[in-house]
Amino acid sequence: MDVKRYDKAELTYPEAGATRAGELPQGYRHLRRRYPMGDGASLGRAADALLTWRMHAALGLSPQATAPRAAPGVVVVSRLGFGPLAIVAPCRVVWTVEEDRRAGFAYGTLPGHPESGEESFLLEVAGDGSMSFTVTSFTRPGRWYTRLAWPMAALAQRFFVDRYASVLRRYTR
């Protein structure tokens, strides 16, 4: 798969960065899930897995990116399945954060993605030293088949979000 072919592609939605602002735009399905992740001392390991696409790879998504680490402008294309029935999901990173107590990024959909919108992944350490993982997204159908199967697409998204949290928990032990 040639990830570079998406370098000049425009996002498929106009509200880039809205997951960082907190107020999600109308006209999309919203998802916010927060997961306890244990002790914040493992933030570095979990953040590394998140920011280097290992979280995605552990789910079998076969991510290919224009850079080894998430950074604004990096294109990542995840592929689920094989051959002509594979689902290809191209995205561009729209923001990142790497601080002492927070790490994460958001990416937005590019043409060809099954959905249109943005999804963020954020690890945060609270004042008491506990860590959480929050996924926030706003999406709507981006392809004909997601329009037909929209209720199933919502279930699939929740399944993947739960699995992302499960994968990152392995890096906190």
Sequential pLDDT tens for the chain (173 residues) = 689 899 999 999 999 999 998 789 999 999 999 999 999 999 999 999 999 999 999 988 889 999 999 999 999 999 988 777 888 999 999 999 999 999 999 999 999 999 999 999 999 999 999 999 999 999 999 998 888 888 888 888 899 999 999 999 998 88
Of the CATH numbers 3.30.565.10, 1.10.510.10, 3.30.530.20, 3.90.170.10, which one belongs to the domain with range 35-170?
A: 3.30.530.20
Residue 27 in 3-state DSSP? coil
Signed CA dihedral, 142, 61, 153, 140: sign only: negative
Signed CA dihedral, 22, 168, 53, 86: sign only: negative
Q: What is the pTM of this model?
A: 0.94
| Residue 22 structure tokens | 């907190």
What distance in Å separates the CA atoms of residue 113 and residue 123, rounded to the nearest whole number? Answer: 25
Token pair 């735009």: residue: 25
The per-residue pLDDT for 1 is 67
What distance in Å separates the CA atoms of residue 18 and residue 20, rounded to the nearest whole number? Answer: 5
Closest CA relative to residue 43, chosen from 132, 114, 150: 132
